[in-house]
Structure 1
Amino acid sequence: MLLKNRTAFITGASRGIGKAIALRLAREGVNIVVAAKSVRENEKLGGTIFSAAEEIEALGVKALPVPCDIRDEAMIQEAVEKTAATFGGIDIVINNASAIALTKTSETKTNRFDLMHDINVRGTFLVTRHCLPWLSKSDHAHILTLSPPLNMAPKWLGSHIAYTMSKYNMTMMALGWAEEFKDMPVASNALWPQTTIDTAAVRNLLGGEALVQMSRKPEILADAAYYILAKKPGNCTGNAFIDEKVLKQNGITDLSSYSVAAGGKLYTDLFLD
């Protein structure tokens, strides 16, 4: 178990994809830092850092629930300090927290533009920056950012430019860090789903139950993340991965169990042609 007794700092880990990755890594013996805003449950979203931590610890590892709005640098610093004090270091950073608004320029309010860039871009950068001193001390250091391959097709640039910019910025950081940190070595990769994923964003913002039925479960990204993070940092860095391709490369060709609706039509995710 290459990941046993490692420590993963995961943003947005109270629900959805972040929690699925946390639970998958916990099954491999990884201690988890649940860094998210949710300290009280929202009926539409479900889950808090505390309920997620309970599920994680039920798998036999330690979990540290830490309130952390990654727009607030002081909260990031405090979360990192608590992590280091509790576990002695950080081996893995999962940049999962993200905000979305699929709006055209004329429809994008300033506060929504700022929110996406504060969380997706600035927050991702600051989390990585403050975790870096600890990552640099690990002998199995990985950064994994949930963002898409860079696709300059006009369709994706023209449809919702504010959101597109923020997600592409996340990927550019992931690829840039691979080069910047290669001699430490700290691996840095991006990961994105081939299809839409059953998350609160899909249910509440994007397509409701109809789109949920054409989506896959978050566990497909969690399994793909595991295979990436289990590789030696020097051998796996600088990639913009797609979940189903990662699984197929690791011998998993039957992906039917990940579908929300067995045998149903799947909807290709954003930024993929």
Structure 2
Amino acid sequence: MSESEAFASLTSNTGALKDKTVFITGASRGIGRAIALKCAANGANIVIAAKSAEPHPKLPGTIFSVAEEVEALGGKALPLQVDVREEDQVADAMSQAAEKFGGIDAVINNAGAINLTSVENTPPKRYDLMQSINSRAVYLTAHLAIPYLKQSKLGHIISLSPPLNLQPKWLGPCAPYALSKFGMTILSVGLAEELRDAGVSVTTLWPRTLVATAAIEFAVGSREMFEQSRKPMIMADAAFEILQTQNNELTGQQLIDEELLRERGVTDFTEYAHNPEKADQLAVDLFLEP
């Protein structure tokens, strides 16, 4: 099944997120876009909060193209150009979202920066970029969204970050990036406790295998690595399972996409593979043990 066919088939779903508002950072492409379309097909209003307002020569997708896809699936879209490092921009985006849709029910921290370099080989500007777009953005979006989320009957924060794994083999090669991603997870664990009594669920989500995104193509390796990767749709399906889970059942958990989907009854993962013929040759993602 092609990507377009897969997204088109989503319209047969049940509308589990009908009229709920999902605020997704970095939603102009990749995993963020896939989550946006999955939620839209299930009735959600989608806030596409990303920097990409103009087409990029190498990276397809903008906030406006995703908005068109969301609306084609029956969802409502609010495309907003947002830099998650800027407090005023994030606050204004949330205010606009709440005004347009009547509130915010979920925040998904998908925007990210990656550079797999050691301390010696990481320039200070790149270090600061990763900390601000990764861990600091989790703090900032939560800080600004909590008043809205407390008013919601859904109330979710999902951050795309790995389970804590402090083995030296993961820290030595890329400690600056690891710090930024584990920082997201530590903040999420703390937020889960902070917001437990308010009924707001906070989780992290990480892929079991590489996912075919621009980060893999341009920052980690090359497009050839797509042959060892899954499609972004697997993360979208896992995020949807989290969002439709009620009563804080998952709050505080550090979740892996494949494990969660298996728990929810998925047994065949072949179609998630970028190349289904190589579904048994997938590479395990960073920070996870084989």
**TM-score for the superposition, normalised by structure 1:** 0.98
Structure 2: which 5+ runs fail to align?
1-14
Deviation at 1:2, TM superposition (A): 3.6
Which residue matches 1:57? 71
Matches within 5 A, 1:1-273: 1-264=15-278, 265-273=281-289
Q: Distance in 2 between the 1:269 and 1:210 partners?
A: 15
Secondary structure, counterpart of 1:183 in structure 2: helix
String of CA shifts for 1:18-55, please: whole Å, max 9, x gaps.
00000001111011000000011112221110001000
Contact 2:16 2:43 in 1 (8 A): no
Structure 1: which 5+ runs fail to align?
none
Secondary structure, counterpart of 2:165 in structure 1: coil
Deviation at 1:209, TM superposition (A): 2.0
What percentage of aligned pairs have identical amino acids?
49
Letter in 1 for 2:239: A
Contact 1:142 1:233 in 2 (8 A): no
Contact 1:6 1:31 in 2 (8 A): yes
Q: Distance in 1 between the 2:171 and 2:221 partners?
A: 21
Contact 1:6 1:90 in 2 (8 A): yes
String of CA shifts for 1:222-249, please: whole Å, max 9, x gaps.
0011111101042221100000001100
Cα RMSD of the aligned pairs, angstroms, is 0.8
Q: Distance in 1 between the 2:157 and 2:38 partners?
A: 16
Q: Distance in 2 between the 1:231 and 1:51 partners?
A: 29
Contact 1:93 1:131 in 2 (8 A): yes
Q: Distance in 2 between the 1:60 and 1:2 partners?
A: 13
**TM-score for the superposition, normalised by structure 2:** 0.93
Secondary structure, counterpart of 1:245 in structure 2: helix
